[in-house]
Amino acid sequence: MPSTTGSVAIEAIELTKRYGSETALDGISLSIPTGTVYGFLGPNGAGKTTTMRLLTGLSTPTSGEARISGTPVDDRRALVPHVGYLPETPPLYEEFSAREQLEYVADLRNIPPETARSRIGSYLERFELADDAGKRINSYSKGMEQKTAFIQSVLHDPDVLFLDEPTSGLDPRAARTIRQSITEFADAGTTVFLSTHILPVVKEVADTVGVLFEGRLVAEGTPDEVKERAETGAGSTLEDAFLAVTSDVDVVAEATAEGDG
Amino acid sequence: MNLRQDLRHGGRIGRAEFVRSVRGYTCDTRRILGLAVALLFFGGNLLFLLPPIYVLGRSVRSVSTIPYFGPAATLLPVGLFLLGALRTMERLGSVDTEDLLLTTVHPRAVVVGLITAEIGRLLLWFGIPLVAIAGAFAVGLGSPVFLVTAGIVVVPIVCCMAVWGYAVGIWVLRILRRLPTVRRVLKVGGILALISIVILSQVAARYLVTGNVSIETLLSLISLTPLVDYLALGFVGTPISATITPTAVVILVTWIALTPVGLAVAERQATALWFTDDPVRNVTTDTLSETTGSSGGFSPPQPFSWTKAGRIAWGHLLRAVRHPQEFSHLLMLVFLVGPMAGTFFQSSSGERFPVLVAGTGVLFGVYLSGATFGLNPLGDARPQFPLVLLTETTPRTFLRGRVVAGLAIGLPFTILVPLASIAAGSRPLYGITFATVGTGFSLIAALFALGLGCAYPIYEERELWGAETVAPSTLVLISYSFVVMGGTIIGLGITWFGLTGNLIVTGILVGGLSVYLLPTVGLPILSYWYSQRRYRRYVLD
């Protein structure tokens, strides 16, 4: 089970990432409590994937620091039991079957074989993959691949789960399965860092929303708070708020400052 | 009107494809450096070639006295046709963004575009040296007009053979699509044929040198007079111009007439290929296929199951067997070992033959131990790095997994071939010693490969036999081959001298052995240490 001893699951202080003269991420600070589903929004190229890579230790920041469950992200060995990461492109071996892939990953994660078999069996059933678990992944649909990758990212019961567009391109049934799983994991104490463009998903599952624009966090709060701060008027949607905060940064910065003040 | 529009579209597609290729050749510093090295090497050779060509131009008195003109006139169209067909089968059978192009322009435009781009690429690679050679000859001949006339004569051949090569290549692809079993057999057969050709070419060359058959006699057999007469048209207006024969004119008309016919055939073939489906669903998309299934989970056999590195190694082996394109870079071995093997086996006497077999087996096994899985560990695992780097398994274990997988491929050759040589007449001591020494070299090669591969990882996937695969850098491959094969040959030589009692312990010998053993053992250890460091600090920037 995920640890719930620390109150802050994800902590980032002034994270900055530069590629030459280009700034991909400009001093992001985050403090996300344990058990939160954090919806991470932003237009294409805003720096969402860069942020996730920095928070998972897969990339190094130009400056700033980050901790996951109190563990510095640059201590990869100590970090790995705490995090599960599902990148936008599922990291799967196409030549394996789903069962082979998951048993292989369980071995790499030092999960005892009996526990692994039981968990894998249970997840395969839950994600309706049991009948196809023996087929090679190169014969899978995108939804099946995504579900397999999702299972492998949670197989070790991580404290923090990073999901990059987990429902993108999925049919409604598969997308719902993933959404329900996100909620269930959060209820069990897992912190979920969810990056997506699909705003209804965020609205449905996220406790807190952060909006990234041009490498800066331009809005943060509950979905309702973000809508309020964006001043998009009564009856506005999260989409309206998103469009507002990612089109006029100065206004939003002021609104956020006022809100904080 | 339609034809003109298709040709215009085709020209645009050809230009776009050509520009894409050129940008691909020069997209990063590594490729530019590679091109610069190739340019230096081949450019230097060309510079040395030009003076003799100039002298030839000055001395030649008639077309028939130009060395190998007859065979060249025959082989030129045949070679162009085969090149076109093979390139089509390998790469030009489809185009990137096929869905876009086929829903935007007529297939004929796509065919014209692909062929135009290919001719452009051909000119880019071979145009400048050919013009330089023809120019040197023309200056020697005292007739610069030769450059123009030769060009006019060659263009119809190139166009005609390009479209027919494309048409036949597409036709073969259609046949192979209907016969998937034949396609699979051809893939394996093709590699075996390549190996055979490389080895047999050495035997043939040796036979030509030592035998009674002259190469001129052989080449004269493949000279077709009509094609020779046609190519001689290129000398019209020069001092060595011969009479224009009616046959030459007929051939010219044939090239010109066959080009649009070939284009029509190519278009029909391509349309049939692009707009029809496979008779059976491809296994890569067949969700119901039983052939792609695996009954159990991930259960490596013993001894792989004993350690985690062994289980990781089994994962590599399993995936490689299911995706054999991962081994494509090992074809380099064919070109390295093929010529040597041909020469060795021909020159060896009956007594030495088993020892040479044992040595070759060791060499083969040592090479494979490192080259199979060790030459691009960061590159070929990159898509899975978000997974593997975030597991509890240490980089050392992953790297050891690669070592074990490499040894699992290499050691059977290293050990079994020398032992089998005992049955062929080698002394047991020789066979056992070669196997023992070879085992050590295999481990050394596997460790050395890891550091070399980590120093220069390659991430770009390229399509090979219908599958995307990431091959190690050619530079890494050549360096590895040079160091490992050189070091192994020296080591085996020392072993052989030791076994036959020809090693006399002197100060020079001890010094020499120290100089040899220090890098042989030290370099792989350093290399392994470096690979761990690179792996541990790796980030996805």
Confidence of residue B354 (pLDDT cuts 50, 70, 90): confident
Q: What digits encode the pLDDT tens for the residues A198-215?
A: 888 888 899 999 999 888
Residue A239: per-residue pLDDT: 76
CA–CA distance, A97 with A136 (Å, rounded to integer): 4
Nearest residue of A to residue B293 by CA position?
Answer: A135
Q: pLDDT higher for A16 or B286?
A: A16
pLDDT over threshold 80, residue A170:
yes
Give Dmax over CA atoms of chain A in angstroms: 57
Q: pLDDT higher for A74 or B2?
A: A74
Among B19-28, B97-106, B156-165, B234-243, top mean pLDDT goes to: B156-165
pLDDT over threshold 90, residue A241:
no
| Cα–Cα distance list, B302 to A131, B307, B311, B314, B316 (Å) | 28, 10, 9, 10, 15
Q: What digits encode the pLDDT tens for the residues B426-465?
A: 888 888 999 999 999 999 999 999 999 998 888 777 665 5
Of A87, A96, A105, the CB nearest to B319: A96
pLDDT over threshold 90, residue B43:
no
- Give the pLDDT mean for B212-225: 74
Answer whether A130 touches B (CB < 8 Å): no
Mutating which of A76, A86, A131 best tests the B interface, going by the most B Cβ atoms within 10 A? A76
Answer whether B104 touches A (CB < 8 Å): no
Mutating which of A93, A119, A137 best tests the B interface, going by the most B Cβ atoms within 10 A? A93
- Give the pLDDT mean for B471-499: 88
pLDDT over threshold 80, residue B365:
yes
Query: Is B386's CB within 8 Å of A58's CB?
Result: yes
- Give the pLDDT mean for B401-429: 91
Of B284, B295, B383, the CB nearest to A91: B383
Answer whether B393 touches A (CB < 8 Å): yes
Mutating which of A50, A100, A150, A156 best tests the B interface, going by the most B Cβ atoms within 10 A? A100
CA–CA distance, A132 with A116 (Å, rounded to integer): 18
Of B286, B296, B315, the CB nearest to A139: B286
CA–CA distance, A174 with A187 (Å, rounded to integer): 20
Residue B340: per-residue pLDDT: 65
Residue A122: per-residue pLDDT: 94
| DSSP strand pairing (A160-164 vs A83-86) | parallel
Query: Is B540's CB within 8 Å of A103's CB?
Result: no
Residue B157: per-residue pLDDT: 93
- Give the pLDDT mean for B106-126: 90
CA–CA distance, B342 with B209 (Å, rounded to integer): 14
Query: Is A136's CB within 8 Å of B286's CB?
Result: no
Tokens standing for residue B103: 């829903």
Closest CA to B359 of B344, B338, B374: B344
Confidence of residue A4 (pLDDT cuts 50, 70, 90): very low
State the smallest CA–CA distance between residue A261 and chain B in angstroms: 37
State the smallest CA–CA distance between residue B469 and chain A in angstroms: 12
pLDDT over threshold 60, residue B257:
yes
Answer whether A167 touches B (CB < 8 Å): no
Answer whether A15 touches B (CB < 8 Å): no
pLDDT over threshold 50, residue A1:
no
Q: What digits encode the pLDDT tens for the residues B279-313?
A: 554 444 333 344 445 556 888 888 998 999 999 99
State the smallest CA–CA distance between residue A190 and chain B in angstroms: 17
Of B287, B387, B390, the CB nearest to A135: B287
Query: Is B297's CB within 8 Å of A99's CB?
Result: yes
Tokens standing for residue B473: 């850098």
Which string of DSSP letters, residue by residue, matches B261-311?
HHHHHHHHHHHHHHTS--SS--TTT-TT-STTB-SS-S-PPTTGGGSHHHH
Residue B65: per-residue pLDDT: 85
Answer whether B308 touches A (CB < 8 Å): yes
Confidence of residue A251 (pLDDT cuts 50, 70, 90): very low
Q: pLDDT higher for A94 or A34?
A: A34
Report chain A residues whose CB lies below 8 A from the CB of B386: 56, 58, 85, 87, 91
User: Which string of b and e fits A95-105 if b means at least 16 CB within 10 Å?
Assistant: bbbbbbbbbbb
Answer whether A145 touches B (CB < 8 Å): no
CA–CA distance, B230 with B244 (Å, rounded to integer): 9
Mutating which of B295, B312, B317, B387 best tests the A interface, going by the most A Cβ atoms within 10 A? B387
Mutating which of B306, B307, B390 best tests the A interface, going by the most A Cβ atoms within 10 A? B390
Query: Is B297's CB within 8 Å of A60's CB?
Result: no
- Give the pLDDT mean for B80-92: 87
Asked if this assembly's ipTM is beyond 0.90, the reply is: no
pLDDT over threshold 50, residue B264:
yes
Among A217-226, B23-32, B459-468, B485-494, top mean pLDDT goes to: B485-494
Closest CA to A162 of A180, A150, A175: A150
- Give the pLDDT mean for A7-29: 91
Residues in contact with A237: Cβ distance below 8 Å, sequence separation at least 6, in sequence order? A199, A203, A227
What value does the mean pLDDT of chain B take?
84
Residue A5: per-residue pLDDT: 45
Confidence of residue A132 (pLDDT cuts 50, 70, 90): very high
The residue whose two tokens read 């590895």 is B480
pTM above 0.95, yes or no: no
Among A144-158, B292-306, B344-358, B455-469, top mean pLDDT goes to: A144-158
Answer whether A96 touches B (CB < 8 Å): yes
Tokens standing for residue A64: 């700033």
Of B311, B319, B386, the CB nearest to A87: B386
Confidence of residue B350 (pLDDT cuts 50, 70, 90): low
Residue B349: per-residue pLDDT: 62
Confidence of residue A80 (pLDDT cuts 50, 70, 90): confident
CA–CA distance, A219 with A233 (Å, rounded to integer): 16
